[in-house]
Structure 1
Amino acid sequence: MPETRFEVPEMVRLEILSKLPVKSLTRFRCVCKSWCSSFQTPHFITKHQQNNLHNNNLNLLLKRCLGNTRDDIYYFSQLSTEKGQNFSVQDNIHLPFFEDCWYAPVVSGPCNGLLCLHDADKVALWNPSTREFKTLPQSTVQRPPSVDSTSFGCVGIGFDSQNGDYKVVRFVTNYFEENEDEGLMGDWNHQVELYSLKSDSWKEISVPGVQPYGSPLFNNYVNGFYYWQAIGDSDYLILSFDMVNEKFSALPLPEFGGSLAEYYLELLDFNGLLGAIIYPREGTDKSFDLWVMNGSWTKQFSIESLPRVERPLGFWKNGELFLESSDHELVLFDPSTRELKSLGIHAYQETMQIITYVESLVPINGRSEREELIIRRPAGDASN
């Protein structure tokens, strides 16, 4: 009897492959040229990402530092998300590009699996799934005359879905001595510049009437908009930037019944909506209120009187909340049982930041981690 050969249609093969992790797809690029080219198409990249989102396939990076001197460098730890592994450290990742920066890097995003890392005038894009890293070019935006010095402030990353472009927005402050002849009044002025991955260049855009401040603790990119806390002439508000039309707008803060002198307010992406988590600055027992913007601010839920915790770090798959304890240990709170689980991971006070991201094949036209001399060291001790 002749052997029956069953040929799987190409569309079905690609559908199956789009459900695999990036590590497997990287290996399978060597199978044939058609697979390699298919994995790089926008359709496959989007399908792969949608499958990961649908299945809630999340990954965890922990940014931290072990001390507070210039010899103590910030680094990232890849945490295990496998069931039963208790979020143990898999790899410790060192980025040489930021090693001479004491508080670097500030993390913006993720946006479709991409992270924007920045400190002072250094900005880079990183896809930790494909292990591609891109140093952004220096800005060619002209500074005003007679500038004494320039500092680089808040940064945001986002996706322009209309043009299929990834963008980085950055706030710049120029300091100068007052010079009436050149029309410079005061001690500083502001600029805003926008980077496009498609053009690999910066341009200047209009400055909003308010200025953002602070470094994000959570992901402040939500569905095409990036958000910052900001201060206007007399009050605090939220500044948003639309990545498609490249325009700023302002939103009010939630009316939570307190003041920012007494409470911390952190913005975040909560299930595709803008959220704000609010908690007291003082006290050893902390309560956390989550507000969500959906046309207007509404309080989503409250977590009352958690003992010996310092601050929130991020939500996990089923509503669990990562926290930094008063002993500067990473802990996980389960609201359904009110159990606080110690994860055995420590850092210097208030240097921990959790980055939750979905695996992505999005290319950034950069170089491999190996070419950038980025070091991934397997953790010898899962508790460090």
Structure 2
Amino acid sequence: MQGLSKTGSDLPEALVLEILSKLPIKSLTRFRCVCKPWSSSFQTPLFITKHLQNNLRNNNLNLLHKGFCGDTRDGVHSFSQLSTEKGQSFSVEHNFHLPFSGKGWYDLDVDGPCNGILCLDDGRDKAALWNPSTREFKILPQSSVQRPPLVDSTSFECFGFGYDSQTDDYKVVRFVVNYFEEDSDAGSMFEQNDQVELYSHRSDSWKEISYPGVGPYDSPPFNCYINGVYYWQATASSGDLILSFDMVNEKFSTLPWPQTLDGFYSHLLDFNGLLGAMFYQGKGTEESFDLWVMNVSWTKQFSIESVPGVERLLGFWKNVEFFLESSDHELVLFDPSTRELKNLGIHASKWTMQITAYVESLVPINGRSEHEGRIIQDASN
């Protein structure tokens, strides 16, 4: 950080660093022009870590809205940052370019966040890391993992993304489904063989790891990452359960749900750094919500009865309010203390909206700007 304060200021360098590390990235981008020492200092591991820690400590969150409009096969996904400034009602601040453009209802998923980084996948063979704060993305290499012989087709499902704090490594885990076509007297049929792959950002490569014997299901936003562990909803011969993957020891494990899923939709989420499970059940045009939190054992945190005109839960906003999808497929904010529903004027096709809250981060991913190459589609189109 030598030379950080050499801009006519008599302030100690450590104090200048402390002040700057509390500023939003938009301000830091402007301040890069103040002097070369500042510009280079913003790229040091010390400053990047301090800036991230300040944002995590103060719960400084940005909001990413994912939507889908058009025909279910040929429509377009849109990704926008929503304003989180008071009085601006979560309006669209700007739209994003993306590393690749998925077409089709479920063809573009967002996993994470983790230290301000997100993972994108198109459900086929493309995946990317993305820092929406710095607008940097990195398309992941194709896997070199050996497939079983005579595979007819392969799909990649149920991604998980997180951080290994011991090796300072970002990792992506994904389940691979291999299909084999066979002829029989009854005609063609498919059998499948499952594999699991793990990507390491440090090595920029994939490797195969042991299949856990339990099949996860559902995609974001129904699964979540918390403190080095990724959680999926899953099913086994014994019934429904939660599958987890530890990014440090690269091991799978399972835990039970707090209650039966019969008649309920479920949603795994981060609740103040603990695993939360939200259950919601429709009652005509109303929804009821139960939140359970895992802290050694499951404990019911609260219940909310009969929220009218609601289709489903999208997520928490700072553990105080809920983002919901209305029965008209509009984004609404629900305050449980006043039971007020506030329409935010954002619309998308049914069951395609996703809200992701992430901290601003300068963490580099060794990629390139989202504006480079023009291999992507403008989310505003």
- TM-score, length-normalised on structure 2? 0.91
Aligned equivalents of 2:203, 2:140: Cα separation in 1: 11
- Amino acid across the alignment from 2:347: H
1:224 aligns with 2:225: no
Counterpart residue number, 2:154? 150
Q: Secondary structure at the match of 2:76?
A: coil
Counterpart residue number, 2:101? 98
Q: Is the 8 A contact 2:79 2:379 kept in 1?
A: no
Cα distance, 1:153–1:110 mapped onto 2, change above 3 Å: same
Q: Is the 8 A contact 1:240 1:248 kept in 2?
A: yes
1:191 aligns with 2:192: no
Q: Secondary structure at the match of 1:74?
A: strand
- Amino acid across the alignment from 1:118: D
Q: Secondary structure at the match of 2:96?
A: strand
Aligned equivalents of 1:22, 1:370: Cα separation in 2: 18
Cα distance, 1:304–1:213 mapped onto 2, change above 3 Å: same
Deviations 1:179-238 (A, max 9, x none): 9xxxxxx92211111101111111111110211111122560000000001111221110
- Amino acid across the alignment from 2:251: K
Counterpart residue number, 2:141? 137
Counterpart residue number, 2:299? 298
Aligned equivalents of 2:294, 2:277: Cα separation in 1: 8
Cα distance, 1:8–1:316 mapped onto 2, change above 3 Å: same
Deviations 1:57-114 (A, max 9, x none): 1111110012333442011121111111111112233436124455221111111111
Q: Is the 8 A contact 2:258 2:292 kept in 1?
A: yes
Cα distance, 1:281–1:193 mapped onto 2, change above 3 Å: farther
Aligned equivalents of 2:349, 2:67: Cα separation in 1: 7
Q: Secondary structure at the match of 2:87?
A: coil
Identical-pair percentage = 72
Counterpart residue number, 1:7? 10
Q: Secondary structure at the match of 1:332?
A: strand
Counterpart residue number, 2:261? 259
Cα distance, 1:153–1:378 mapped onto 2, change above 3 Å: closer
Report runs of 4+ in structure 1 exceeding 4 Å deviation: 374-379
Cα distance, 1:68–1:168 mapped onto 2, change above 3 Å: same
Q: Is the 8 A contact 1:64 1:348 kept in 2?
A: yes
Deviations 1:269-320 (A, max 9, x none): 1110011100115531110011111111111111111011010111112511
Counterpart residue number, 1:65? 68
1:124 aligns with 2:101: no
Larger deviation, residues 26-35 vs 234-243 = 26-35
Aligned equivalents of 1:69, 1:147: Cα separation in 2: 29
Question: 1:109 aligned to 94, 109, 112, which one?
Answer: 112
Q: Is the 8 A contact 1:193 1:203 kept in 2?
A: yes
Query: Structure 1: where are the runs of 5+ without partners?
Result: 180-185, 380-384
Counterpart residue number, 1:341? 342
Query: Structure 2: where are the runs of 5+ without partners?
Result: 1-7, 184-189
Q: Secondary structure at the match of 1:25?
A: helix
Aligned equivalents of 2:369, 2:174: Cα separation in 1: 25
Aligned equivalents of 1:283, 1:36: Cα separation in 2: 57
Counterpart residue number, 2:86? 83
Aligned equivalents of 1:318, 1:146: Cα separation in 2: 49
1:176 aligns with 2:180: yes
Counterpart residue number, 1:183? none
* TM superposition shift of 1:177: 4.5
Deviations 1:343-363 (A, max 9, x none): 111111111110111100110
Question: 1:245 aligned to 243, 246, 249, which one?
Answer: 249
- TM-score, length-normalised on structure 1? 0.90
Aligned equivalents of 1:328, 1:214: Cα separation in 2: 20
How large is the RMSD of aligned CA atoms in angstroms? 2.0
Larger deviation, residues 368-377 vs 309-318 = 368-377
Counterpart residue number, 2:309? 308
Q: Is the 8 A contact 1:110 1:219 kept in 2?
A: no
Counterpart residue number, 1:322? 323
Larger deviation, residues 53-62 vs 137-146 = 53-62
Counterpart residue number, 1:40? 43
Aligned equivalents of 2:16, 2:180: Cα separation in 1: 61
